[in-house]
Amino acid sequence: MSLVGKKAPEFKSKAVIKNKLDEDFSLSNFHGKYVIFFFYPLDFTFVCPTELHAFQEKLESFKIKNAQLVGCSVDSIYSHYAWLDMPKEKGGIKGIEYPLVSDITKDISKAYGVYNEDEGVAYRGLFLIDKDGIVRHEIINDLFLGRSVDEALRVLDGLICFETHGEVCPANWHEGEKTLKASKEGVVKYFND
């Protein structure tokens, strides 16, 4: 069941942020900011470090747009600490600066509908949450399919554009391209301009 258009499920959990522990981490800490909340299956795996580093490489692009990145897996904070201490060249995620939430109870991944019962881990779910805590976009990939950080940025840009201008974004839209009014006339004008 999709969470789009609904309040993002609230939680309190432990998280590691730049090798420091936050005992009471909550997405509500970011009220007034956009949040890209993403799940990955496990620390010390194979596709996951490529994604976490890809998000880190675009961290400033998210910050400029008033967006907070937050990663989450079913691992303990101790596993997060150990993986954050391992260099990238050895498969680690040293240098990741955004929060990594521990969902050791699996309650968070279940609340977001991404828990894979057979494997005991979360699918690669990504949720764009607006400044009021409403989920505006979600995408869930199977365990073996890495996601596109550029697509997460593109969808964030689309939400910001809609909120700013009140126009909708057509297929394959990117920031700076033309939008359209949500009406028959808007579609006609879009196709004829």
Q: Where in the sequence is the domain holding 133, given as residue range(s)? A: 13-147
Dihedral, CA of residue 44, residue 142, residue 117 and residue 51, to nearest 10: 30
In a domain, 189, yes or no: yes
The band of 1, judged by pLDDT with boundaries at 50, 70 and 90, is confident
Query: Has 48 been annotated as catalytic?
Result: yes
In a domain, 94, yes or no: yes
Are 94 and 172 in a shared domain? no
Are 25 and 100 in a shared domain? yes
CA dist 125 and 167 (Å) reads 27
Inform me whether the pLDDT recorded for 77 exceeds 90: yes
Q: Count other C-beta atoms under 10 Å from residue 44's C-beta.
A: 14
Are 83 and 174 in a shared domain? no
In a domain, 120, yes or no: yes
Joined tokens for residue 121: 């881990």
pTM above threshold 0.75: yes
Are 131 and 158 in a shared domain? no
Inform me whether the pLDDT recorded for 108 exceeds 90: yes
Are 108 and 160 in a shared domain? no
Are 118 and 69 in a shared domain? yes
Cβ contact 108:46 at 8 Å: no
Cβ contact 79:127 at 8 Å: no
- Quote the pLDDT of residue 193: 85
Are 112 and 133 in a shared domain? yes
Count, residues in the chain: 193
The residue-averaged pLDDT of 172-192 equals 90
Inform me whether the pLDDT recorded for 137 exceeds 90: yes
- Quote the pLDDT of residue 56: 97
Q: Count other C-beta atoms under 10 Å from residue 189's C-beta.
A: 13
State how many domains the chain has: 2
The residue-averaged pLDDT of 72-92 equals 95
Are 141 and 154 in a shared domain? no
The band of 89, judged by pLDDT with boundaries at 50, 70 and 90, is very high
CA dist 73 and 67 (Å) reads 20
Q: Which of 48, 72, 161, 169 is labelled catalytic? A: 48
